[in-house]
Amino acid sequence: MTAAASSSPSSPNSPTPTNMLPVLIVGGGPVGLFEALLLTKLGIPVRIIEREYSVSPYSKALGLAARSLEIFRFAGVIDPFLEKGSPITNINFYSAGNYFASMPIVGTPEDTEYCYGLFLEQKATSEILRDDLAKLGVKVDYGWELLDTKVVESGSHDSTYVETTIRRALSGDNTAPGENLVIGIVDQHTEQKDKEYETEVVRSKYMVACDGGRSTVRHKLNIKFPGRTLLSKTFMWDGIAETDILIDGVTVISNPNKPAMHLFPLSHGTIRVQLEAGVMEDGEDLAETTKNLTIDQFEAMARDRVYPATFNIKETSWLTGFRVNERRAEHFVYKNHIFLAGDAAHIHSPAGGQGMNTGLQDAHNLAWKIAFTLQGLVDPELVLPTYAEREPMADRSIEVSSAILQRNQTIGYGSHYMKLAFFSLAPYVLNIFRKFNITPDVAMLKLRYVENYINRPGPSKTQPKDDHQVGIRARCGVIRAIDSTTLSTPSTTNNNKSFRLHELLVGLGRFHILVFASTALNSPTEAKQLAAHLEHYQSAWRGRWTYSGNLNDGFKDEHDLFKISVLTGPYQSTTHDTAGLEMFVAKAAGDGRVYEDIEAKVHAKFGFDGKKGSGGIVVVRPDAHVGYRVEGSQAQAWEEVDRYFSAILVGGKGARL
Ligand SMILES: Cc1cc2nc3c(=O)[nH]c(=O)nc-3n(C[C@H](O)[C@H](O)[C@H](O)COP(=O)(O)OP(=O)(O)OC[C@H]3O[C@@H](n4cnc5c(N)ncnc54)[C@H](O)[C@@H]3O)c2cc1C
């Protein structure tokens, strides 16, 4: 074994904040790649290592949830996903091989632009992210494997760092033969004793461990991974088959006396079949079972489930087996310097397609916190621990997937006929079911973080409803831009000037301040005061806090942390006195844009009445969750928002980079 020279922490070559890598990312799966891309777009230098030599050809995940599409949009990377993926909008239900019903996958259309699941294999998702990263000049260090890591503590946060030993095989690769063919089993890979390696010690300010369910980082740091491994096993096949079963959406085959079978469309005419295969036998080794499973045997099992429909395999690209683990790392934050993300932090059944999506959101939640820390804009000891707000989200994903899995595995006439009843009624009474409908959960549109250092309740006298509390995902809705030429045009949601509120939230490192002005702009006096507050605070905040890196998100000022948008309630130019609004529009305060909340629905989604009162102000965090909200849009409300920023932001100007 060859060891490359490396400096010890106590040597004269000890790293200093200026010669140290800001962030090491371990694992080039979708989560590691997304984290690398986000940090790079936030102007933070990263190194990303991956033990394999390319993106994994095995696509475990096959779909992107609405929330993942939203965050891709905020991050400016959505286009290739929409180009390559296929929106899936329905679930087909079969009783054995007999078609029974189809049910639309419902989102709440006004609340997201993406009312569907986007089917795109994990391989393609990873390749898009890898290519986007390469366009920004960052190449994945393929073939490098993390061996060990520790946090070297030296009294203060700023002088503490992460020391990581990595190696690369000088011949062959880092993987044991066949290791990747069976998925979903948690164990450590075996050391390959007969290989030669070169090793390197990397010192970094922070590390993000995205090294998958078997995470070496998690093992090395002794972070427990409690949960359970289910006794049941699943076989999974990808390939081309001739079948008369409908596969234009997710297809569920239910039998009264056999576990469920699922079919999913993949790209280029291929499909995925997942077969629940009962429980493990005493002493059974799933890797062995999978190795011995022939394509003919799998085909016979599938035919048995779909009879009297047909199923003939033509080509096979992957046949594997897995047991479901439901586990969550005890903590995602280690000494405020190492962060677990993706499968390294949580794993569960693929049912409901939550795994990769949860991981992508981990990455989004963490990136701006690390970037702001390195920019010297926040106190790391107070802001980095808030990444723990992802832990309950992982618990929620485990719960959602576990509930779906349980339904799929339940055998018996009772459960079968319940499913038949549900699927036959659902298309007709969907609105009644909407309340009980799990789709917004699966689509991850109901995420809400706990109150913490960055999610602070305002001084409201009345407790806002759950949906309007801080920590909630910033919701969406239709608005239209108003300017002096369109002020008198009648408002309509179909107007070509109308668009979704989320378009205002595009970007990565900005706070979006949404001023819900309700009727305040009807009065010229109030409109004038609001314009004055807006100008005053915007210039005060810009003077105090700027982002010294380049915020590569398409806005005119790449160093500006604050983007303020004003939304007025609905107005009718024919019946309303628009003098205040005209004055406000003409004044072009702040960014100079005013938007009409055409049906007052967006006000309502944030807990304000768009038709009376003076609305409120909402601070949307850079990852599009509500950080702060206050009632009213005049002096006192602005002072409160100012207090919020003064509490969570410090100095700035790239201090820790
Ligand atoms: C059958 C199946 C279907 C699924 N379907 C869905 C779905 O539809 N939707 C969904 O959201 N999720 C789904 N999932 C889950 C999803 O595949 C995972 O959640 C996702 O792969 C997690 O991504 P990741 O980047 O965290 O980890 P991984 O994809 O596991 O990537 C980790 C990377 O780290 C590398 N690595 C490991 N150890 C080291 C080391 N020591 N040094 C350097 N590199 C290392 C690995 O080689 C790997 O490339 C499914 C899972 C399964 C099993």
**Banded model confidence at residue 417, pLDDT cuts 50, 70, 90:** low
Query: Ligand 1 centre from 505 Cα, in Å?
Result: 29
Helix (H) or strand (E) holding 220: helix 216-220
Give yes or no for residue 654 having a pLDDT over 80: no
32 C-beta closer than 6 A to ligand 1: yes
**Banded model confidence at residue 575, pLDDT cuts 50, 70, 90:** low
Helix (H) or strand (E) holding 405: helix 391-409
357 C-beta closer than 6 A to ligand 1: yes
Query: Ligand 1 centre from 295 Cα, in Å?
Result: 25
Q: What is the mean pLDDT of residues 94-107?
A: 78
Q: Could you count the other beta carbons within 10 Å of the beta carbon of residue 602?
A: 25
Query: Ligand 1 centre from 181 Cα, in Å?
Result: 13
141 C-beta closer than 6 A to ligand 1: no
Give yes or no for residue 591 having a pLDDT over 80: no
- Cα atoms found within 13 Å of the Cα of residue 486, Cβ hemisphere only: 14
* Cβ(444)–Cβ(65) below 8 Å: yes
**Banded model confidence at residue 587, pLDDT cuts 50, 70, 90:** confident
Ligand 1 atom at minimum distance from 144 CA: 43
pLDDT tens for each residue of 25-57: 999 999 999 999 999 999 999 999 999 999 988
**Banded model confidence at residue 270, pLDDT cuts 50, 70, 90:** very high
**Model pLDDT, residue 2:** 37
Query: Ligand 1 centre from 527 Cα, in Å?
Result: 52
85 C-beta closer than 6 A to ligand 1: no
- Pick the residue whose CA is nearest to atom 6 on ligand 1: 61
444 C-beta closer than 6 A to ligand 1: no
**Model pLDDT, residue 427:** 56
**Model pLDDT, residue 651:** 75
**Model pLDDT, residue 369:** 97
Percent of the chain with pLDDT over 70: 82
**Model pLDDT, residue 436:** 40
CA distances to 17, 39, 196, 362, 525 from 22, rounded to whole Å, are 8, 10, 29, 19, 50
Give yes or no for residue 320 having a pLDDT over 50: yes
202 C-beta closer than 6 A to ligand 1: no
Greater model confidence, 426 or 472: 472
- Pick the residue whose CA is nearest to atom 14 on ligand 1: 61
**Of 147-151, 178-182, 459-463, where does mean pLDDT reach its minimum?**
178-182
pLDDT tens for each residue of 347-384: 998 888 889 999 999 999 999 999 999 999 999 999 99
Percent of the chain with pLDDT over 90: 55
443 C-beta closer than 6 A to ligand 1: no
Give yes or no for residue 3 having a pLDDT over 70: no
Give yes or no for residue 497 having a pLDDT over 80: no
Closest CA to 343 of 228, 209, 448: 209
507 C-beta closer than 6 A to ligand 1: no
Instruction: Please give the mean pLDDT across all residues of the chain.
Output: 85
210 C-beta closer than 6 A to ligand 1: yes
Ligand 1 atom at minimum distance from 30 CA: 25
Q: What is the mean pLDDT of residues 221-235?
A: 93
Strand arrangement, sheet containing 261-265 = 98-104, 90-95, 250-254, 261-265, 271-279, 227-243, 311-328, 346-347
350 C-beta closer than 6 A to ligand 1: yes
Query: Ligand 1 centre from 330 Cα, in Å?
Result: 19
Give yes or no for residue 572 having a pLDDT over 90: no
DSSP 8-state symbol, 10: T
Give yes or no for residue 514 having a pLDDT over 80: yes
**Of 73-87, 107-121, 267-281, 503-517, where does mean pLDDT reach its minimum?**
107-121
Ligand 1 atom at minimum distance from 234 CA: 1
Give yes or no for residue 207 having a pLDDT over 90: yes
440 C-beta closer than 6 A to ligand 1: no
Query: Ligand 1 centre from 347 Cα, in Å?
Result: 9
Query: Ligand 1 centre from 573 Cα, in Å?
Result: 54
**Among 23-37, 405-419, 554-568, 581-595, the range of highest mean pLDDT:** 23-37
Q: Could you count the other beta carbons within 10 Å of the beta carbon of residue 46?
A: 24
**Model pLDDT, residue 425:** 60
Radius of gyration for the alpha carbons in the chain, expressed in angstroms and rounded:
26
145 C-beta closer than 6 A to ligand 1: yes
Give yes or no for residue 299 having a pLDDT over 90: yes
**Banded model confidence at residue 597, pLDDT cuts 50, 70, 90:** very high
**Banded model confidence at residue 496, pLDDT cuts 50, 70, 90:** low
**Model pLDDT, residue 559:** 77
**Banded model confidence at residue 262, pLDDT cuts 50, 70, 90:** very high
Give yes or no for residue 9 having a pLDDT over 50: no
Give yes or no for residue 428 having a pLDDT over 60: no
355 C-beta closer than 6 A to ligand 1: yes
**Banded model confidence at residue 465, pLDDT cuts 50, 70, 90:** confident
Give yes or no for residue 337 having a pLDDT over 70: yes
pLDDT tens for each residue of 152-177: 998 899 999 999 999 998 876 666 65
CA angle 335, 337, 342 (to 5 degrees): 100
Mutate to test the pocket of ligand 1, among 105, 343, 346, 390 (most ligand atoms within 8 A of CB): 343
**Banded model confidence at residue 59, pLDDT cuts 50, 70, 90:** confident
616 C-beta closer than 6 A to ligand 1: no
* Cβ(515)–Cβ(600) below 8 Å: no
Ligand 1 atom at minimum distance from 343 CA: 26
Put residue 554 in one of left, alpha, beta given phi > 0 → left and psi -120 to 50 → alpha: left
Cα gap 208→211, rounded to integer Å = 9
Please state the separation of Cα 61 from the chain's center in Å. 14
Ligand 1 atom at minimum distance from 216 CA: 41
**Is the omega angle on the peptide bond into residue 308 within 30 degrees of 0, that is, cis?**
yes
Full-model pTM: 0.92
